[in-house]
Structure 1
Amino acid sequence: MNSQSKPVSNFEFICLMALLMSLLALAIDSVLPALSQLGSDLQVAEGNDIQLVLSSIFFGMAFGLIFYGPISDSFGRKKTIYLGVGVFILGDLISLFAVDFNMMIIGRVIQGFGAAACRVVSLAMIRDKFEGPEMGRVMSLIVMFFIIVPAIAPSIGQGILWVGDWRAIFAFVFVVSLLSIVWLHFRQEETLIVEKRLPFTITVIVHGIKETLSNKTSRNYMLASGFIFGSFIGYLSSSQQLLQVHYQLGEQFALYFGVLALAVGLSSFANSKLVMRYKMVNLCLVSLTGLLAFSTMFLVYCLVITGEPALLVLMMYLSATFFCFGILFGNLNALAVQPLGHIAGVATSVISSIQTLISVFIGGYIGYLYNGSVMPLTIGFLICALLSIILVLMAKQNSKLSAA
């Protein structure tokens, strides 16, 4: 069937966008159970250095995000995704055939650069079709479907390790990437009509960047989302060491990781309903307050008890914080892009690029502070939540002043 002959349903559109956006999560989370094996094969000397296999892909994505938005505004959304996934596949193949750790990191950076197209152009396609509360609802549904991937990806990776080694995981990611492009090509129509495309010039791009950064409301939401996503990257970077090694979960790590990911999916589903009744900014403030409160209570608990908290208590704390994350991820991004719909591609690129750069450095720092305890992660959650509350309140005030 030709992609232009019959428009796809909203449900299929949501599933396709979730798959494209989840390629990054698949490339990260499916490798988690194999990090010890990968580090041993590639002779990684320092234990915390293995976290670079995860954080380097975000570093590459941060630079790719600024690149693909303007291209999609000029040449269309689908062609830009074709380009990005092609780069993603190249990076995956480099990592697949890596003979040392440096080659692995180069491949992961290239993977991240390519995956940026899926992130930024998918958001622009969503903005092409929806706006306001409906956009927030669709984003929440996409996050809900998207979260299935990180929930099951570690189990997939663990299953692959039963019959192969870590290289087979990269081969699996290669196959899924190809299938996503085939689906996009044959089933999804172009969402940016020719009449609305912008000329690909430096002037247009610079103007879009200036307009995006000069919008105080978007800027504050962008910074807040960077802090929150940064704390989440801190968890991703240290989760294997904390849960699989420190708490000695072994092969059960994939199960516990999946349970926590489902907490994000559950809250995203709840948010898809709540956002139609309550303002996105108020939902963000409630969630940030919850994240701050949970982290403060857990930190006090850790300081009072002798030794490390029980695994059950840790899982209860992480589940509560991840429920907050599920509401924040979709809403903060939608709030940041909302005032800039007329330059959605460039705006999404700038917002996502800066957000990711912030989150890479914050998440990498939190991960490198890992010392065999949950304290660095808990303190990281607490500080990021506090800073984000201040930024969201400032953005809310800016919105009122602009409307006045």
Structure 2
Amino acid sequence: MVAPQQTTQRQRTEAQVIAFLAAMGALMAFGIDASLPAFDEIRPAFGMASNDTRVTLIITTYFIGMSFGQIFYGPLADRFGRAPILRFGLMLYMVGALFAMVATDFTFLLGSRLIWGFGAAAASVLRTTITRDLYHGDQMARIISITMAFFLLGPIVAPLIGEGLINFGSWRWPFGASAVLAIGMLFWSYRFGETLNPANQRPLKLGPTVEAIKKVATTRVTVVYTLAMTLSFGAFFVYLASAQPIFDVIYGRVDWFPLLFAASGVIEMGAFFVVPRFIVRYGTHRVALISLTITLAISLVLLFFTWPAQGTPNFWIWFVGVMLANIFIAMLIPVGMAQALEPMEELAGTASGIIGLVTMGGATVIAGFINAQLAHSVTPMIMSYVVLSGLSLVIITQAHRSKKPHSHWPGGPKTR
């Protein structure tokens, strides 16, 4: 598919690494968030009723593509290098976005979104893989956390950009803008260069891949954090796919959606700048326990208000409660990925792909089932937050039964 990449010595500042990784994440998120304000125009364009929830399949198919794409890109990135695989994914991302922009049939649109998500999977898996190439331990968690803070510019800016493009043109314009952004990211990748050490290149054979899967499946901390992230992401994905219909159908406040969705992203981004300090002080494992405990507590309070209100609590109680729960769920991302990838070493690409497939694929299935239950009530959403965060918390407690969590920086960036 592509020739092996020879790594050259390249000096990168921490700021350059964070900027590049954050841009990768923002591009991935733009494919989701910029399309959300388009739902109201997409429905009539494809002959749907104003309350038809099938429009959320636009998000679901994107996630499905991202889920299965990660297991494809991971082993290839370990064999051929990070840079060529990222570029292939970016080109596929661009093709999917352009196909979606010109779609005249809803099935074709969903197929285009599947391709688009498959391309975005390269950025998703290689974002953490590149971080693992350059950093390790709690410092890796710190870099992922800072990167995630900038990544959350997507939910802040993308819906507003999408709304502006739709008002100026049509629902197709945000899709075209995504293709343009992919081209920019493609050029940037040439400047950033390769991060895989040639000594760590792995053969693209079934045997080593199976061995990598076995290592992921038999490493306690990796399995525990992968399962916990899958369940927690399931709750977050419910919100991501159903937020616009809830604003519109259940609360009748669709005009508020872009602004409030962006506002929640601003607060979440601020929280990610705080997380590195807690990681330094308490270690990644303890931060994970704290974040899930608070998520469960907030979810129980939300359920207390939702149940007597027959599934439609006061709008502001629902919005603020879910926003706070999402902040602490999102905090699990940097610590969870750092803990899961720490033992993988030279298997970082393949391991990232496997973890991405399980977490994103599992979360998409969970969210798809729960979103199907949402009609005129947010009760299924709130119940999912309670159950999934509670299960995640129980699972996380098993991560270090025979190993103390790190409470210090194990080391700095690896030399290149």
TM-score normalised per structure 2: 0.92
* Alignment match, 1:239: 243
Kindly state the Cα deviation for residue 303 of structure 1 after the two structures are TM-superposed.
2.0
Match of 1:50 among 55, 79, 85: 55
* Counterpart contact for 2:166–2:172, Cα < 8 Å: no
Q: What is the CA–CA distance in structure 2 between the aligned matches of 1:234 and 1:191, rounded to whole Å?
A: 35
Q: Structure 2 counterpart of 1:47, which letter?
A: D
Q: What is the CA–CA distance in structure 1 between the aligned matches of 2:403 and 2:75, rounded to whole Å?
A: 26
Match of 1:131 among 113, 116, 136: 136
Note if 1:148 corresponds to 2:153.
yes
Kindly state the Cα deviation for residue 202 of structure 1 after the two structures are TM-superposed.
1.4
Match of 1:195 among 195, 199, 224: 199
Alignment gaps of 5+ in structure 1? none
The DSSP-based 3-state class of the residue aligned with 2:397 is: helix
Match of 1:60 among 31, 56, 65: 65
* Alignment match, 1:219: 223
Match of 2:174 among 169, 182, 194: 169
| Residues 251 and 4 (structure 1), Cα distance of their counterparts in 2 relative to 1, 3 Å cut | farther
Kindly state the Cα deviation for residue 306 of structure 1 after the two structures are TM-superposed.
6.7
Kindly state the Cα deviation for residue 122 of structure 1 after the two structures are TM-superposed.
1.7
* Alignment match, 1:101: 106
Q: What is the CA–CA distance in structure 1 between the aligned matches of 2:373 and 2:322, rounded to whole Å?
A: 18
Q: For residues 209-234 of structure 1, what are the alpha-carbon distances to aligned partners after superposition, in whole Å with 9 as ceiling and x for unaligned?
A: 11111112211110110111111110
Q: For residues 360-388 of structure 1, what are the alpha-carbon distances to aligned partners after superposition, in whole Å with 9 as ceiling and x for unaligned?
A: 10111121111222211111111110110
Note if 1:118 corresponds to 2:157.
no
The DSSP-based 3-state class of the residue aligned with 1:394 is: coil
Q: What is the CA–CA distance in structure 2 between the aligned matches of 1:290 and 1:175, rounded to whole Å?
A: 40
Kindly state the Cα deviation for residue 305 of structure 1 after the two structures are TM-superposed.
4.1
* Alignment match, 1:178: 183
The DSSP-based 3-state class of the residue aligned with 1:304 is: coil
Kindly state the Cα deviation for residue 244 of structure 1 after the two structures are TM-superposed.
3.4
Kindly state the Cα deviation for residue 5 of structure 1 after the two structures are TM-superposed.
8.1
Q: Structure 2 counterpart of 1:113, which letter?
A: F
Note if 1:84 corresponds to 2:89.
yes
* Alignment match, 2:262: 258
The DSSP-based 3-state class of the residue aligned with 1:397 is: coil
Superposed, 1:319-334 pairs within 5 Å as 319-334=323-338
Q: For residues 98-127 of structure 1, what are the alpha-carbon distances to aligned partners after superposition, in whole Å with 9 as ceiling and x for unaligned?
A: 111100110111111111111111211100
* Alignment match, 2:376: 372
Kindly state the Cα deviation for residue 193 of structure 1 after the two structures are TM-superposed.
2.1
* Counterpart contact for 2:89–2:121, Cα < 8 Å: yes
Superposed, 1:63-74 pairs within 5 Å as 63-74=68-79
Alignment gaps of 5+ in structure 2? 1-6, 406-416
Q: For residues 112-160 of structure 1, what are the alpha-carbon distances to aligned partners after superposition, in whole Å with 9 as ceiling and x for unaligned?
A: 1111111111211100000011001100000000001111111111111
* Counterpart contact for 2:19–2:147, Cα < 8 Å: yes
Q: Structure 1 counterpart of 2:270, which letter?
A: L
- Identical aligned residues as a percent: 28
| Residues 281 and 5 (structure 1), Cα distance of their counterparts in 2 relative to 1, 3 Å cut | closer
The DSSP-based 3-state class of the residue aligned with 1:396 is: coil
* Alignment match, 2:4: none
TM-score normalised per structure 1: 0.95
Kindly state the Cα deviation for residue 346 of structure 1 after the two structures are TM-superposed.
0.9
* Alignment match, 2:410: none
Q: What is the CA–CA distance in structure 2 between the aligned matches of 1:312 and 1:42, rounded to whole Å?
A: 32
* Counterpart contact for 1:224–1:392, Cα < 8 Å: yes
Kindly state the Cα deviation for residue 400 of structure 1 after the two structures are TM-superposed.
5.4
Kindly state the Cα deviation for residue 6 of structure 1 after the two structures are TM-superposed.
5.5
* Counterpart contact for 1:44–1:101, Cα < 8 Å: no
* Counterpart contact for 1:292–1:386, Cα < 8 Å: yes
Number of positions where the alignment pairs a residue of Structure 1 with one of Structure 2: 398
The DSSP-based 3-state class of the residue aligned with 1:252 is: helix
The DSSP-based 3-state class of the residue aligned with 2:47 is: coil
Output the aligned Cα RMSD.
Answer: 1.8
Structure with a larger share of its residues in helix: 1
Note if 1:384 corresponds to 2:388.
yes
- Point out the more displaced range, 294-303 or 307-316: 307-316
* Alignment match, 1:335: 339
Note if 1:30 corresponds to 2:53.
no
The DSSP-based 3-state class of the residue aligned with 1:199 is: coil
Q: What is the CA–CA distance in structure 1 between the aligned matches of 2:360 and 2:402, rounded to whole Å?
A: 23
* Alignment match, 1:289: 293
Q: For residues 142-197 of structure 1, what are the alpha-carbon distances to aligned partners after superposition, in whole Å with 9 as ceiling and x for unaligned?
A: 000000111111111111111111111101011111101111212x1311122221
